[in-house]
């Protein structure tokens, strides 16, 4: 099955800085790449996704970029805020990466 690798496992940034999380996948047939955010005590929730016919997608402070040739995609969060602190997962559905715990320090 699909193998999804995500890094870093933890990331700490200062409020206002940018954060980047990277994900690689193994199945070249994959064509849908979502990112999920999990807050404490809750299930993961979709925050942004991208399909294989698009190289970049942006939604306010978050963006996802995709490199199909290299089989990797990244989540970019700009102007980070304390409420961005959470665990973030990439997925090559239905399999998920190991998660990145992001801490935004005020």
Partner 1 sequence: DAGVIQSPRHEVTEMGQEVTLRCKPISGHDYLFWYRQTMMRGLELLIYFNNNVPIDDSGMPEDRFSAKMPNASFSTLKIQPSEPRDSAVYFCASSFTGVEGNTIYFGEGSWLTVV
In the complex, the smallest distance separating the C-beta of residue 31 from partner 1, rounded to whole angstroms, is 6
Which residues of the shown chain bind partner 1 in the complex (CB under 8 A)?
1, 30-32, 34, 36, 41-46, 49, 51, 89, 91, 93-99
Q: CA–CA separation, 58 vs 64, rounded Å?
A: 7
**Helix, strand, coil in percent for the chain, rounding step 5:** 5, 60, 40
Closest to partner 1 by CB, 94 vs 106, is: 94
Whose Cβ is closer to partner 1: residue 18's or residue 54's? 54
Question: In whole angstroms, what is the distance from residue 85 CA to residue 56 CA?
Answer: 23
CB of 40 to partner 1, least distance (A): 11
> Minimum distance from CB of 15 to partner 1 (Å)?
26
Least distance to partner 1 from the beta carbon of 91, Å? Answer: 7
Peptide bond into 26 cis (omega under 30): no
CA distances from 37 to 41, 47, 88, 99, 106 (A): 12, 6, 5, 9, 20
Give SS3 for 83.
helix
Select 40 or 70, whichever has its Cβ closest to partner 1: 40
Nearer to partner 1 among residue 6 and residue 65 (C-beta): 6
């Amino acid at each position: 099955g699909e193998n999804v690798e995500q890094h870093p496992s933890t990331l700490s940034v200062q409020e206002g800085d940018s954060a980047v999380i990277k994900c690689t996948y193994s199945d070249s047939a994959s064509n849908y790449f979502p990112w999920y955010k999990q807050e404490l005590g809750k299930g993961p929730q979709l925050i942004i996704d991208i399909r294989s016919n698009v190289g970049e997608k942006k939604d306010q402070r978050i963006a996802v970029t995709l490199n199909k040739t290299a089989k990797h995609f990244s989540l970019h969060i700009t102007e980070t805020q304390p409420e961005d602190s959470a665990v973030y997962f990439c997925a090559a559905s239905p399999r998920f990466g190991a998660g990145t715990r992001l801490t935004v320090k005020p």
